[in-house]
């Protein structure tokens, strides 16, 4: 995880931006008020998500796993003029914190925060998405893949976080989470409708385009 001292990562962070003030406040509050702040999207990864969203200019974005909303707000930077984000969080306390963070940003009225189990909620959400960000239950990633590919429009992006799992997903391992992430990565790479790329930044980011 990118909480180790890494001069190259610090250099990259310093020259990747600018980062909006509301994200800096959110980052500080996440480290002060949550017990697992490392779950938050890092600043370089956040700038990458914002850039990808700006390139896609999505009208509809789906995020699975809101946490405190850092990645959500990065993705919101690239929304089309009439675009919206639907983001799903299963922890009520964390969801309440994310809602406050959204309210303190320029995108509060363009984000629909849904509370509950994402796999149960997905069938209630109609239509296709231009961009999907998967950052929820890591062991469930292989189960999500076919459902999310079906919900992604042609040309859309499916982005998944933590796919390297501190490097364990690329090795022989008895860690069940790493094993499931390894399965997800292999399924995505072999999927006939996807072009897949894994970037080894932070804890690994998978980016797939639907052909």
Which CATH number fits the domain that encloses residue 68?
3.40.50.150
Residue 41 within a domain: yes
Residue 20 within a domain: yes
Domain span at 193: 7-210
Residue 177 within a domain: yes
Residue 2 within a domain: no
Report the number of distinct structural domains present in the chain: 1
pLDDT tens-digit series, residues 68-110: 999 999 999 999 999 999 999 999 999 999 999 999 999 999 9
Residue 1 within a domain: no
Q: Is the pLDDT of residue 173 over 60?
A: yes
Residue 153 within a domain: yes
Residue 193 within a domain: yes
Instruction: Give the residues across from 84 on adjacent strands.
Output: 60
Q: pLDDT tier at 4 (50, 70, 90 boundaries)?
A: low
Please give the model's pTM, rounded to 2 decimal places: 0.95
Looking at residue 8, its pLDDT comes to 85
Looking at residue 2, its pLDDT comes to 47
- Mean pLDDT rounded to a whole number for the chain: 95
């Amino acid at each position: 995880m990118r909480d180790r001292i890494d001069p190259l990562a610090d250099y990259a962070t310093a020259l990747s931006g600018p980062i909006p003030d509301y994200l800096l406040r959110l980052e500080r509050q996440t480290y002060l008020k949550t017990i697992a702040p490392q779950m938050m999207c890092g600043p370089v990864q956040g700038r990458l998500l914002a850039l990808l969203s700006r390139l896609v200019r999505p009208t509809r974005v789906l995020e699975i796993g809101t946490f405190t909303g850092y990645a959500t707000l990065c993705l919101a930077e690239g929304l089309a003029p009439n675009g919206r984000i639907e983001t799903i969080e299963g922890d009520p306390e964390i969801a309440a914190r994310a809602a406050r963070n959204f309210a303190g940003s320029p995108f509060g009225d363009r984000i629909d925060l849904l509370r509950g189990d994402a796999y149960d909620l997905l069938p209630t959400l109609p239509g296709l998405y231009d961009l999907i960000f998967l950052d929820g239950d890591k062991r469930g990633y292989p189960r999500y893949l076919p459902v999310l590919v079906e919900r992604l429009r042609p040309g859309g992006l499916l982005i998944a976080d933590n796919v390297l799992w501190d490097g364990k997903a690329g090795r022989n391992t008895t860690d069940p989470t790493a094993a499931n992430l390894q399965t997800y990565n292999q399924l995505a790479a072999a999927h006939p409708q996807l072009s897949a790329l894994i970037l080894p930044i932070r804890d690994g980011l998978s980016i797939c385009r639907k052909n």
